[in-house]
A and B are shown apart, each in its own frame.
Chain A
Amino acid sequence: MATTVAGVHAVPKSESGLWSWITTVDHKRIGVLYGVTAFVFFLIGGFEALLIRIQLARPENTFVGPDLYNQLFTMHGTTMIFLAVMPLSASFFNFMIPLMIGARDVAFPRLNAFSYWVFVTGGIFLNLSFFLGGAPNVGWFAYSNLTSSQYSPGHGVDFWAVGLQILGIASLAAAFNFIVTIINLRAPGMKLMRMPPFVWMTLVTSFLIILAFPVITVALVFLLFDRFVGTHFFVPSGGADPLLWQHLFWLFGHPEVYILILPAMGIVSEVLPTFSRKPLFGYPVVVYSGIFIGFMGWGVWSHHMFSVGLGPLADSFFALTTMLIAIPTGVKIFNWLATLWGGKIELKTAMLFALGFIALFTMGGLSGFMHASPPADLQQTDTYFVVAHIHYVLFGGAIMGVFAGIYYWFPKMTGKFLNETLGKIHFWATMISMNLTFFPMHFVGLLGMPRRVYTYPPNMGFDTMNLLSTIGALLLGASVLVFVVNFVNSIRNGKPAGSDPWGGGSLEWAIPSPPPSYNFATIPTVRSLDPLWHKEGREAALAANQVRGPIHMPPSSYWPAVSALGVTLLLSGMVFGWFVGIPGLILMLLGLYSWAFEPVT
């Protein structure tokens, strides 16, 4: 096997070409792969959203029919959650975590590659459904018994259930990897309470993933058994309780909400201090709040089910826990505001997105808090009010956080700046069109417009606001295009950025941009939360770039990709048949065994 030995013996050759990307185990390149792939899925999901909005632009529109409409909103939700936001976060985990904790790579570089390849093949599999008999059309939370073979006879639900199983494997493998990486690969002196907040939020997110995904795995297993074998897990005529699905799904689904938002909170907690020239206010409280959210996230799931009629005791309990979880979230918001207070604020694009995050996420939090009250929730459930809420927290929250992260770390990743003028246009266009799209949804929701219905009659008071939403959505699409143009241009001829263009305080800014394949020539010793803002910083930065002895990097390998392809083919065999499943099984076993016995130096 080819071993990349950097340092005094040899300087690593710049690798290029398709094969080098397939076999790479470098966390930075895998981070790039994650980011680019997830962004493509983000564009696909966004395109689906635009089709939905065009259909709803005016009453009784016939742009898409009800059947395609059902597929579009199901795939829009599923794509944005599992194929865009989660892997976009994973892209930052991959690229930034080893740099922020002072490590040369993740703990399991090949497992990391495996996660990526399972994710991309799973995502392709899920989207193939559009061409193979129709995409899933049961909503992203796929309530039983709409998903039974009786009510959903096509293959759409099968694609959905199997696709989510495949993606679950990718998320689980990545989460195990990051838990071990963060706990075990920190630079000397980096105690847990000296980890940057983004690293902390990644750790909490990873724990949520490894504990939440098995629950949906089981729920999907039951669903697949019901559909393929004829069991009665969710069949009322067999004595089953279809609510079991809702409980299992939301027991996964609510922690999943925090899986989506915590990384964005972590990014914002990095960006705000840097551009306020102040350490994060109340760092320990921000960390404890994140951990508390991680715990409490397990005790609120039934607030998705108030309309089911679980009884006053359960409703009161889940109303209280839901209100309780607003407290650590609010604590964080106050900490961010206090970080700004008295700071020397620089309104770079990354900072604008982080501030946008605070504003929009707070609004999403307020509408979420309204649902915490069961009587209010009964009015709002299944209306556009909920759609407004989810988009304020997921677009206004997670996506704004992701964009803040992209503008913040792009110089580190590429060695070049994104264009600030285009960036600011992107920000303001996003901010305005986002509110134009989603704010009116609060009102149409309270007026009673149901979600997931492909059209509405005229003169219900919905017309103008729906048109506004559609205009907003088209503008939002245009603002994403501005970003794409900026991104492509800046990669080609962006202004060169030094190793620490923003004056950040954490370790990733101590090394060159883009970082060398081995990240740190010498692993620095850490004595504070933001070492580069202290006296030790210069010394650490100097040490980080000084080669002392040979550096062994893990060799590249194609077995993770082979195993991942095998896993995906094996599971997709459930839909396509044995002639796909059996080769998948063979490929998976070949891949895993070769991987296990592959010599690593």
Chain B
Amino acid sequence: MAVAALSHPAPEAHPTSTGLNSRKMLFWAFLGSECMFFGSLISTYLIYRGRDSAGPHPHEVLNIPFTSFSAFVLLMSSLTMVLALAAVQHGNLRGTKIWLAATALLGMTFIAGQCYEFTHFFYDGLKLQSNLFGCTFFVLTGFHGTHVTVGVIWLWSLFMMAVRGKLPVERALDVEIAGLYWHFVDVVWIAIFTLVYLIQ
């Protein structure tokens, strides 16, 4: 993994049995848990797909070109996240700030796109309560959006740390872990975009 290859050995108070950093290990375990969370949400969506007699149906409301664009935005934010990590690992404070802010802004663009999309669906007559598509779609993508939002808050917090000069090379692990989260949320979106939007 590109991120892992770039990383410096993280400073540790105590050496660990495996030599792996404990915080990073915890975070990987957390992501494993998140896989089951999104796995259950996506499975429910797939189980209920096509069971609605009353509309709106997916093909009537989903706007693939628009969502392709926001998916592209989110994927690009993974690139800027990698750049932010590289910058902080090289002690490049200016780069750190720029790429953290860029990642957060791309994430916010994605959220804005989702707000627009949800509003649009709402006026097309698709509500949480409309049918099974409505409830499974909104809860699945809503939880993904919530994850992106948490990530955005996290990135701005790191940005503020960088601005105050509290993000030196030794704290690169803080950015790396936020990066793990951010990439995970992107990967989940690839799964959602494929299964919900592309394969109707």
Contact B139 A214 (CB under 8 A): no
- Shortest CB distance A294–B (Å): 14
Binds A, one of B12-20, B81-89, B191-199: B12-20
Contact A211 B36 (CB under 8 A): yes
Assess whether A179 is interfacial by the CB under 8 Å rule: yes
Contact A225 B17 (CB under 8 A): no
A214 and B17 in contact, given A176-B26, A239-B53, A240-B48 (Cβ under 8 angstroms): no
CA–CA, A20 to B135, complex, Å? 47
Contact B37 A214 (CB under 8 A): yes
Assess whether B34 is interfacial by the CB under 8 Å rule: yes
Contact A225 B26 (CB under 8 A): no
A229 and B129 in contact, given A108-B26, A210-B32, A210-B33 (Cβ under 8 angstroms): yes
Assess whether B44 is interfacial by the CB under 8 Å rule: yes
Assess whether B4 is interfacial by the CB under 8 Å rule: no
Mask, B38-81, CB within 8 Å of A = 1, is 01110010011001110000000000000000000000000000
CA–CA, A162 to B166, complex, Å? 38
Contact A172 B16 (CB under 8 A): no
Q: Specify which chain B residues have a CB less than 8 angstroms from the CB of A222 in the assembled complex.
A: 44, 139
Q: Specify which chain A residues have a CB less than 8 angstroms from the CB of B26 in the assembled complex.
A: 107-108, 176-177, 179-180
A183 contacts which of B25, B33, B41, B52 (Cβ < 8 Å)? B25
- Shortest CB distance A413–B (Å): 25
Q: Considering the complex, which residues of chain A in the window 236-273 have a beta carbon less than 8 Å from any beta carbon of chain B?
A: 238-241, 244, 248
CA–CA, A225 to B17, complex, Å? 44
Contact B16 A184 (CB under 8 A): yes
Contact A225 B18 (CB under 8 A): no
Please list 12 pairs of residues, one from A and one from B, whose beta carbons are closer than 8 Å in the complex, sorted by A's number.
A180-B26, A184-B16, A184-B17, A190-B17, A210-B30, A211-B36, A225-B128, A230-B128, A231-B135, A232-B129, A238-B132, A239-B132
- Shortest CB distance A104–B (Å): 8
Pairs of residues from A and B, 9 with the lowest C-beta to C-beta distance, nearest first: A231-B135, A214-B37, A218-B40, A214-B36, A184-B16, A210-B33, A186-B17, A107-B22, A230-B129
Contact A225 B139 (CB under 8 A): yes
- Shortest CB distance A6–B (Å): 15
Q: Specify which chain A residues have a CB less than 8 angstroms from the CB of B129 in the assembled complex.
A: 229-232
CA–CA, A328 to B180, complex, Å? 37
Q: Specify which chain B residues have a CB less than 8 angstroms from the CB of A499 in the assembled complex.
A: none
Q: Specify which chain B residues have a CB less than 8 angstroms from the CB of A231 in the assembled complex.
A: 128-129, 134-135, 139
Instruction: Count chain A CB atoms within 10 A of each CB in B17, B51, B53, B128 and give the residue with the most.
Output: B17
Chain A: how many interface residues by the 8 Å CB criterion? 37
Assess whether B131 is interfacial by the CB under 8 Å rule: yes
Chain A interface (Cβ within 8 Å of chain B)?
107-108, 172, 176-177, 179-180, 183-186, 190, 210-215, 217-219, 221-222, 225, 229-233, 238-241, 244, 248, 552, 593
- 20 more contacts with CB within 8 A, not counting A217-B37, A222-B44, A232-B131, are A172-B33, A176-B26, A179-B25, A180-B25, A183-B18, A184-B20, A184-B25, A190-B17, A210-B36, A211-B33, A214-B39, A218-B40, A221-B139, A222-B139, A231-B128, A232-B135, A233-B136, A238-B132, A239-B52, A241-B47
Assess whether B3 is interfacial by the CB under 8 Å rule: no
Closest to A601 in B: B13
B34 contacts which of A108, A214, A219, A230 (Cβ < 8 Å)? A214
Contact A238 B131 (CB under 8 A): yes
- Shortest CB distance B63–A (Å): 23
Contact B22 A180 (CB under 8 A): yes
Q: Specify which chain B residues have a CB less than 8 angstroms from the CB of A244 in the assembled complex.
A: 44, 47-48
By DSSP majority rule, is chain A's interface helix, strand, loop, or mixed?
helix
Assess whether B115 is interfacial by the CB under 8 Å rule: no
CA–CA, A190 to B18, complex, Å? 11
Assess whether B29 is interfacial by the CB under 8 Å rule: yes
Contact A240 B132 (CB under 8 A): yes
Q: Considering the complex, which residues of chain B in the window 87-109 have a beta carbon less than 8 Å from any beta carbon of chain A?
A: none
B44 contacts which of A108, A176, A184, A233 (Cβ < 8 Å)? A233
Q: Specify which chain B residues have a CB less than 8 angstroms from the CB of A210 in the assembled complex.
A: 29-30, 32-33, 36
Closest to A247 in B: B47
- Shortest CB distance B164–A (Å): 11
Contact A214 B40 (CB under 8 A): yes
CA–CA, A218 to B47, complex, Å? 14
A225 and B36 in contact, given A180-B22, A210-B29 (Cβ under 8 angstroms): no
Contact A239 B51 (CB under 8 A): yes
CA–CA, A233 to B45, complex, Å? 10
Q: Specify which chain A residues have a CB less than 8 angstroms from the CB of B157 in the assembled complex.
A: 593
Contact A211 B32 (CB under 8 A): yes
CA–CA, A432 to B22, complex, Å? 47
Instruction: Count chain A CB atoms within 10 A of each CB in B18, B129, B131 and give the residue with the most.
Output: B129
CA–CA, A282 to B41, complex, Å? 41
- Shortest CB distance B137–A (Å): 11
Mask, B141-177, CB within 8 Å of A = 1, is 0010000000000000100000000000000000000
Q: Specify which chain A residues have a CB less than 8 angstroms from the CB of B34 in the assembled complex.
A: 214
CA–CA, A108 to B26, complex, Å? 9
Contact B131 A185 (CB under 8 A): no
CA–CA, A233 to B132, complex, Å? 7
Contact A248 B40 (CB under 8 A): yes
Q: Specify which chain A residues have a CB less than 8 angstroms from the CB of B16 in the assembled complex.
A: 184-185
CA–CA, A548 to B8, complex, Å? 30
